[in-house]
Amino acid sequence: MTQIIFITADEQEHVLEADSGSLMELAVANNIAGIDGDCGGVCSCATCHVHIAPEDKARVGEASEIEADMLELAENVTENSRLCCQIAISDKLEGIRVTVAEG
Amino acid sequence: MSGNTCVIVGASHGGVNCAFELRKQGFDGDIVLIDKDPQLPYHRPPLSKAFLLGGDPTALQPLKAQSAYAQSDIDLKLGVEVESLDVSAKQVVTSEGAIDYDSVVLATGATPFIPPISGLSEAKNSFVLRDANDATDILAAVQNTENTINHVVVVGAGYIGLEAAASLSKLGAKVTVVEREQRILQRVASEPLSTFMTHKHKANGIEIVCQKTVSAVKTSEANQLVVLDDGTELKADMIIVGVGVRVNTELAQASGIETLPQGIVVDAHMKTSISNIYAVGDCTVFPHPTLGDKCHIESVQNAVGQARIVAQTITGKVSTYDEQPWFWSDQFDAKLQSVGLPKDADNILVREEGDNALSVWHFDGEALVCVEAINAPKAYVLGGRWIAKKVLIDKEKLTDVNVAIKDCVL
Ligand SMILES: Cc1cc2nc3c(=O)[nH]c(=O)nc-3n(C[C@H](O)[C@H](O)[C@H](O)COP(=O)(O)OP(=O)(O)OC[C@H]3O[C@@H](n4cnc5c(N)ncnc54)[C@H](O)[C@@H]3O)c2cc1C
Ligand code: FES
């Protein structure tokens, strides 16, 4: 099981666990406020926007070109932004901190 | 607002989003969310795509976690059918008794249309594709080792038919798509997009037959044939019927709410002709500031967007539904995204980017009204922004792929 820490707009920390699926699916399964996942995770809606903690970015990796383009639909985009349906859970993500973007 | 009950009929993209949005908007009355489908509400778009390809009949993707409903104090009643609305007694009559309401949201969606084709109702392995049950049945037929599905005929080349064709072909079937119109996606997409997708399907081994109708299905012990109007006979171990839907207007109609053949008539705040009764999603006909006064759109965005508006209306805010529609479809390696509707465009421009990407730009005079993009998310994203902001575009630059899209603003 990989542990992922989601931080919501109310500054609550939610420590979640999974060993497969995407970060978006994990968030929806645990009612993380602000992650809607309207398109079901096919990088078409930008309702799964998060900020990855800077120290965890290297482990999470870069957005694909499509994702980077789609991110432009989101608000409050920073260099730490990702669409979390595009991040697959694996042990290399153990303990990463992910903040739900506002907007 | 306590002692205030909102009953939502239909718990899919429209109804579920309406329920949660009501809470977000501060609605503190009771919310009863009813669906005759027994499954925890799920995403529909994957049914023709990832769900079929994934092969796991239990892998429906829930819209919300089961616990989310209780957490937001939403009374989710699954496997319960709404039989009628008693407008004078203000009651929703269900298969399990009557519920008093203060407001009702109809999010009843649509039902696949089954054309009157001789032999179709007795055909083996003949399916429509709208809900989890349909998708699970298709999957079971594909996985049935005693009766291998070699040949599939898809009737109707709309998005759902084509997505099912792509998925079943990836699973190894020889697929033929039969379309009555001149080209695939004729009702919903431009000609350049149709042409691109036709090539895409053909390159992946799918046969596309346009301007032909199915006149009969002949089923015998030995085989099953789909017969076209020119006499052609196509082997069909499985038939997928994807010729469009009929909107579920019965409840509304029976209670005297104004309806049209395309749906339940609502205003820009999602109010029907009877007070305290609203409608959202695939079941509506609605006015839109740029698209016309009798719009009907079948998409996730439309259902979610209207759900947001109705929740605001019910909680006493005045908001108007004016979102630009957007849509996506995934077929093979083609990621299709569109924003706006091709309606009223008097000219279109095509921007080709390499041999596996293009965008189609629709203009009404100088105004950009719609962008259809295949593997071209930049075109989709910028196009959407420009439509909303009414940005004028240098059409000459736009068709020159050496000029970046963002530099095509006038
Ligand atoms: C296979 C498939 C693929 C799709 N792909 C895409 C896509 O890629 N992108 C996209 O944007 N859109 C896609 N769509 C369209 C999208 O799913 C619909 O637009 C969306 O589901 C509409 O939501 P809705 O809530 O308005 O209606 P529906 O999803 O049709 O839900 C209506 C619900 O009401 C219930 N209901 C109706 N009458 C009653 C009653 N009397 N009592 C109780 N319950 C009742 C039904 O059981 C149903 O669950 C796809 C649809 C399908 C079927
Ligand atoms: S869920 Fe739609 S883009 Fe991530």
Note whether residue B322 is domain-resident: no
Q: Chain A residue with minimal CA distance to B61?
A: A40
Q: Using a CB–CB cutoff of 8 Å, tell me whether B378 touches chain A.
A: yes
CA dist B333 and B354 (Å) reads 14
Same domain, B103 and B252: yes
**Which of A13-17, A71-75, B85-89, B324-328 has the weakest average pLDDT?**
A71-75
Structure confidence by residue, pLDDT tens digits, B336-379? 999 999 876 789 999 998 899 999 999 999 999 999 999 999 99
3-state secondary structure of B103: strand
Tell me the mean pLDDT in the region B180-187. Answer: 96
Q: Using a CB–CB cutoff of 8 Å, tell me whether B62 touches chain A.
A: yes
From A19's Cα to the closest Cα of chain B, the distance in A is 16
- The domain boundary, picked from B243, B261, B278, lies at B243
Q: Phi/psi of residue B38, each to 5°?
A: -75, -10
Q: Which residue has the tokens 């209780």?
A: B70
pLDDT higher than threshold 50 for residue B2: no
Q: Which residues of chain A lie closer than 8 angstroms to B64, CB-CB?
A: 28, 31
Nearest to B65 among A30, A40, A44 (CB): A30
Would you give the distance in Å from CA A40 to the centre of its chain?
14
Confidence of residue B273 (pLDDT cuts 50, 70, 90): very high
> Quick one: which ligand is closest to B49's CA?
1
Q: How far is the CA of A48 from the centre of ligand 2 (A)?
A: 5
Note whether residue B371 is domain-resident: yes
pLDDT higher than threshold 60 for residue B394: yes
Number of domains forming the structure of chain A:
1
Same domain, B10 and B95: yes
Structure confidence by residue, pLDDT tens digits, A82-97? 999 999 999 999 999 9
Give residue A85's domain range.
2-93
Same domain, B198 and B218: yes
Domain containing A39 — which CATH number? Answer: 3.10.20.30
* B144-162 burial code (b ≥16 CB/10 A, e <16): eeeeebebbbbbbbbbbbb
Note whether residue A7 is domain-resident: yes
Enter the ipTM: 0.93
Mean of pLDDT over chain B: 96
CB contact under 8 A, B377 and A66: yes
CB contact under 8 A, A69 and B384: no
Note whether residue A89 is domain-resident: yes
Q: How many angstroms separate the most distant Cα atoms in chain A? A: 32
CB contact under 8 A, B43 and A40: yes
Same domain, B199 and B239: yes
CA dist B11 and B20 (Å) reads 11
CA dist B151 and B304 (Å) reads 37
Same domain, B151 and B218: yes
Note whether residue B325 is domain-resident: no
Q: How far is the CA of B349 from the centre of ligand 1 (A)?
A: 33
pLDDT of the residue at B76: 98
Q: Which residues of chain A lie closer than 8 angstroms to B328, CB-CB?
A: 39, 42, 44
Same domain, B264 and B156: no
CB contact under 8 A, A73 and B64: no
Q: DSSP assignment, residue B230? A: T
Domain containing B374 — which CATH number? Answer: 3.30.390.30
Note whether residue A99 is domain-resident: no
Same domain, B238 and B292: no
The residues lining ligand 2, judged by C-beta closer than 6 Å to any ligand atom, are A 24, 37-39, 41, 43-48, 83, 85
Same domain, B170 and B137: yes
Q: Whose CA is nearest to atom 3 of ligand 2?
A: A43
- The domain boundary, picked from B243, B270, B305, lies at B243
Same domain, B396 and B345: yes
pLDDT higher than threshold 70 for residue B174: yes
Give residue B378's domain range.
333-407
pLDDT of the residue at B3: 63
Strands B347-352 and B358-364 turn out to be antiparallel
Pocket test residue of B35, B163, B280 for ligand 1, highest count of atoms within 8 A of CB: B35
Q: How far is the CA of B317 from the centre of ligand 1 (A)?
A: 27
Confidence of residue A53 (pLDDT cuts 50, 70, 90): very high
Number of domains forming the structure of chain B:
3
CB contact under 8 A, B328 and A29: no
Q: How far is the CA of A45 from the centre of ligand 2 (A)?
A: 5
CB A5 within 8 A of CB A97: yes
pLDDT higher than threshold 50 for residue B1: no
Q: Using a CB–CB cutoff of 8 Å, tell me whether A72 touches chain B.
A: yes
3-state secondary structure of B15: helix
Domain containing B107 — which CATH number? Answer: 3.50.50.60
Note whether residue A45 is domain-resident: yes
Note whether residue A88 is domain-resident: yes
CA dist B307 and B305 (Å) reads 5
> Quick one: which ligand is closest to B77's CA?
1
Same domain, B258 and B154: no
Structure confidence by residue, pLDDT tens digits, B236-272? 999 999 999 999 999 999 999 999 999 999 999 999 9
Confidence of residue B168 (pLDDT cuts 50, 70, 90): very high
Q: DSSP assignment, residue B265? A: E
Same domain, B239 and B253: no
